């Protein structure tokens, strides 16, 4: 196939796949089998691999992920993302209706919509293409999460042109709510529990957490979904909200089939009544109903307060409540040493499930509730897996029952708990010897992005700690076949009560020992990340490794030196200093050094390469594979220079997403080549 033919086939495949994707994810009406769909996708992937220059940023192949977002830049919203006024009672709604009547007379209608419980998102489209996705943030500016949003199948990357008039909307913003359907949520949490990870409290947290994962491939696997609830722009096709939404569906957006026009306040109450009763039938969480004035002209007439529009209001559902008896309070010790109090309750039915435990959050909450032993408590469930105690029935309190006194010592290791000023949680300070904290450290150490000894995961680490075989990360390097072979334990799943036997068979033991051995060649930056210094994530570890070159330089550096490293702030600096002050940590590092782990940057990286010698670069925009600092480091480490403005001395302008138009103009006028980050990588390799 020649390049022209490939180009037209790629275009054709893109259109076909987009249409089938829409049929499946938006209309829930697939026209071909999954297998046929996969074949089309496979053909497109192969063609794009063969002709990378023809691959489009918004190709449907981007939905499977693969891009990495190092940090999520803050972006200002073109139209502020206001939140709506909230109400929990119908009197407020009647007042709202009266205010509208007074302001614009008797001729108006409402649109009622479900209030999805997820993460609000602003999707910017230019010339029918998705160019940017930004979270609400503080309403004025949010985080750009475009790569991750591209993996959500119900969000169109290219709009269907046959329904799209370029003259009307060459640029507009679609506002919507990204959420995690119940089915995806339950699957994800089961997986997390299986892997001994903390499950998400509710689908909203799961959706929010997923959007901020650096690897879009993982985001893609989370099966997020998105409903669009408004279209904003200068020249919208219709003069009312409802028709614009209907047209948006034809462009490719998923809009809710439950959106309804209501002529008056009684019809609004009917809509609310219906959904208050039937919301448990939906496969996603809603927490109320949104009521908007339909006419855009009337919306403009009504205008805005400083915080929210005057033409819309949200009605929140009451959450379901019941009462039961408090039997006990247990204190859970988390992997960071944080203590969470959990109420043990007399089992009681609530929204279709039996509730045995409730969250109590922290000591302040218990104090605020003035909780006594054996109290009768009011329990509420609001989309959370673990319900919460919201109040006490004072009249049913037993005579002379004692007030609950918060735990003073760690239930796992007996150490006295501490609570730092300004923090809500108590901590067990015994970082190195408290069993759940040891487990947390080791689990982090062996994780894939750290030392990659995952064959030791899935409950195995816990067995080793319980049997006293390992007490810290250094002990992993003293493991032997004889110490491991034959160990076993039965583990019960918290959610479904199913049991699973974990054992150390010959093959497993050999795999573990091999992974431990292999980990000795893991590069310094990952070893540094694996140590689990608070606030030192992958990116910070990389920066520190490149700056300090070896562990001793880092151990003996002082606060001022640290704080002068780009991207290292006070919080990180404090945490690093206190980590290396702890003699036990130094002892562990010395032990690891003796075992042959990498504690200095590789020689090859140490000697600066000169592939870009004598070249000057200007960097503009946001990059997929580099942070702003990262791309500068790469250029400088290869002998190049980075300049902030374009002149005749500039050799290349490296263009990222959303590059400034002035820079492009200047570069073009001086005939300076504009290259992508990929072309920069090639330049480094070639020279
Ligand atoms: Zn403890």
How far away, in angstroms, is 413 Cα from ligand 1 center?
A: 4
Q: Does pLDDT of 101 surpass 90? A: yes
What spacing in Å lies between the alpha carbon of 431 and ligand 1's midpoint? 8
CATH 1.10.150.20 for the 435-521 domain, yes or no:
yes
Q: What is the sign, positive or negative, of the torsion defined by CA atoms of 24, 26, 28, 31?
A: negative
Supply the pLDDT for residue 276.
Answer: 87
For residue 114, pLDDT beyond 90: yes
Q: 429 CA to middle of ligand 1, Å?
A: 7
The rounded Å distance from CA 412 to ligand 1 centre is 5
Nearest to 206 by CA among 228, 183, 229, 227: 183
CA neighbor of 165 nearest in space, from 131, 130, 122, 127? 127
Other CB atoms within a 10 A radius of the CB of residue 439 amount to: 19
Binned at pLDDT 50, 70 and 90, residue 596 comes out as very high
Highest mean pLDDT (candidates 156-165, 546-555, 636-645, 674-683): 546-555
- Straight-line distance from the first to the last Cα atom of the chain, in angstroms, rounded to the nearest whole number: 31
Q: How far does residue 338's CA lie from ligand 1's centre (Å)?
A: 9
Strands 225-232 and 388-392: unpaired
Residues 600, 548: contact at Cβ < 8 Å? no
Average pLDDT on 272-294 reads 91
More confident residue, 164 or 649: 649
Query: In angstroms, rounded to a whole number, what is the distance separating the alpha carbons of residues 444 and 552?
Result: 22
Domains 321-396 and 435-521 share a fold: no
- The whole-model pTM stands at 0.56
Residue 166 is predicted with a pLDDT of 63
Distance from Cα 543 to the centre of ligand 1, integer Å: 32
pLDDT: which is higher, 504 or 682: 504
Residue with tokens 């994810």: 25
Superfamily of domain 77-316: DNA ligase/mRNA capping enzyme (3.30.470.30)
Residue predicted with more confidence, 294 or 432: 294
CA 238 to chain centre: 35
Helix (H, G, I), strand (E, B) or coil at 356: strand
Distance (angstroms) between ligand 1 centre and the Cα of 427 equals 8
Q: CATH assignment of 524-604, given 1.10.150.20, 3.40.50.970, 1.10.3720.10, 3.40.190.10?
A: 1.10.150.20
CA distances from 625 to 147, 171, 678 (A): 11, 27, 9
What's the CA-to-centroid distance between 341 and ligand 1, angstroms?
Answer: 14
Q: Residue 687's pLDDT band (boundaries 50, 70, 90)?
A: low
What letters, b where the CB count within 10 A reaches 16 and e where it falls short, cover 318-345?
ebeeeebebeebebebebebbbbbbbeb
CATH number of 616-686: 3.40.50.10190
Q: Which CATH architecture has domain 3-55?
A: Orthogonal Bundle (1.10)
- DSSP characters over 481-525: HHHHTT-EEEEE-TTT--EEEEE--HHHHHHHHHHHHHGGGS-HH
Q: What is the pLDDT of residues 38-89, one digit of tens each?
A: 889 989 988 988 888 888 888 998 887 777 777 899 999 999 998 888 888 8
Tell me the CA–centroid distance for residue 26 and ligand 1, in Å. 50
- The encoded tokens of residue 516 equal 């431990």
pLDDT of residue 197: 63
Which residue in 538, 619, 539, 621 sits closest to 57, CA to CA?
621
Question: Phi and psi (nearest 5°) for 180?
Answer: -110, 115
Contacts of 548 (CB under 8 A, 6+ apart): 554, 557
For residue 425, how far is its CA from the centre of ligand 1 (angstroms)?
A: 14
Tell me which H or E stretch contains 48.
helix 34-50
Residues with a catalytic annotation lie at 115
Ligand 1 centre and the CA of 580: distance in Å?
21
Architecture category of domain 321-396 in CATH = Beta Barrel (2.40)
What are the domain boundaries of the chain? Answer: 3-55, 77-316, 321-396, 435-521, 524-604, 616-686
């Amino acid at each position: 196939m020649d390049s022209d033919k490939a180009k037209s086939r790629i275009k054709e495949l893109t259109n076909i796949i987009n249409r089938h994707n829409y049929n499946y994810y938006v209309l829930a009406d697939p026209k071909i089998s999954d297998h046929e769909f996969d074949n089309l996708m496979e053909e497109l992937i192969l063609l794009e691999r063969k002709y990378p220059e023809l691959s489009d940023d918004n190709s449907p192949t981007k939905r499977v992920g693969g891009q990495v977002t190092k940090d999520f830049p803050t972006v200002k919203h073109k139209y502020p993302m206001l939140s709506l006024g909230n109400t929990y009672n119908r009197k407020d709604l009647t007042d709202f209706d009266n205010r509208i009547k007074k302001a614009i007379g008797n001729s108006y209608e409402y649109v009622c919509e479900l209030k999805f419980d997820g993460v609000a998102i602003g999707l910017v489209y230019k010339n029918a293409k998705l160019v940017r996705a930004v979270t609400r943030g503080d309403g004025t500016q949010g985080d750009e999460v475009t790569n991750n949003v591209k993996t959500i199948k119900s969000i169109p990357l290219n709009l269907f042109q046959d329904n799209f008039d370029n003259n009307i909307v060459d640029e507009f913003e679609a506002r919507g709510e990204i959420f995690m359907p119940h089915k995806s949520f339950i699957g994800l949490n089961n997986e997390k529990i299986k892997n001994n990870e903390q499950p998400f409290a509710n689908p909203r947290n799961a959706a929010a957490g997923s959007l901020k994962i650096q690897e879009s491939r993982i985001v893609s696997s989370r099966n997020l979904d998105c409903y669009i609830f408004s279209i904003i722009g200068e020249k919208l096709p219709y003069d009312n909200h409802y028709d614009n939404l209907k047209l948006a569906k034809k462009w490719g957006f998923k809009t809710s089939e439950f959106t309804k026009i209501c002529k008056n306040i009684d019809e609004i109450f009917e809509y609310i009544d219906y959904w208050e009763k039937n919301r448990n039938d939906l496969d996603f969480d809603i927490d109320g109903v949104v009521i908007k004035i339909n006419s855009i002209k009337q919306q403009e007439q009504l205008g805005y307060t400083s915080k929210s529009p005057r033409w819309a209001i949200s009605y929140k559902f009451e959450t379901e409540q019941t009462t039961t008896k408090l039997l006990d309070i247990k204190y859970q010790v988390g992997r960071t040493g944080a203590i969470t109090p959990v109420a043990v309750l007399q089992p009681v039915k609530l929204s279709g499930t039996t509730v045995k435990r409730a969250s109590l959050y922290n000591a302040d909450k218990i104090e605020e509730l003035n909780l006594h032993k054996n109290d009768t408590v009011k329990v509420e469930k609001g989309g959370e897996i673990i319900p919460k105690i919201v109040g006490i029935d004072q009249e049913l309190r037993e005579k002379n029952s004692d007030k609950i006194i918060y735990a003073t010592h760690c239930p796992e290791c007996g150490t006295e708990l501490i609570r730092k000023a300004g923090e809500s949680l108590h901590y067990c300070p015994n970082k190195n010897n408290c069993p759940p904290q040891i487990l947390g450290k080791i689990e982090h150490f062996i994780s894939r992005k750290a030392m990659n000894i995952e064959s030791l995961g899935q409950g195995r680490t816990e067995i080793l700690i319980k049997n006293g075989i390992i007490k810290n990360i250094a002990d992993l390097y003293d493991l032997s076949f004889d110490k491991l072979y034959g160990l076993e334990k039965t583990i019960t799943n918290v959610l479904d009560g199913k049991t699973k036997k974990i054992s150390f068979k010959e093959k497993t033991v050999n795999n573990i020992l091999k992974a431990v051995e292999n980990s000795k060649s893991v590069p310094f930056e990952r070893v540094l990340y694996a140590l689990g210094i608070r606030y030192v994530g992958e990116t910070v570890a990389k920066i520190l490794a490149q700056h300090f070159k070896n562990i001793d330089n880092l151990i003996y550096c002082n606060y001022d030196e640290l704080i002068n490293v780009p991207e290292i702030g006070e919080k990180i600096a404090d945490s690093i200093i206190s980590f290396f002050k702890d003699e036990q940590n130094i002892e562990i590092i010395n032990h690891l050094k003796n075992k042959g782990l990498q504690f200095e940057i590789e020689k090859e990286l140490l000697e600066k390469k000169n592939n870009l010698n004598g070249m000057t670069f200007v960097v503009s925009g946001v990059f997929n594979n580099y942070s702003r600092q990262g791309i500068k480091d790469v250029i400088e480490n290869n002998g190049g220079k980075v300049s902030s403005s374009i002149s005749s001395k500039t050799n290349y302008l490296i263009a990222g997403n959303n590059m400034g138009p002035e820079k492009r103009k200047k570069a073009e006028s001086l005939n300076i080549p504009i290259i992508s980050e990929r072309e920069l990588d090639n330049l480094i390799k070639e020279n």
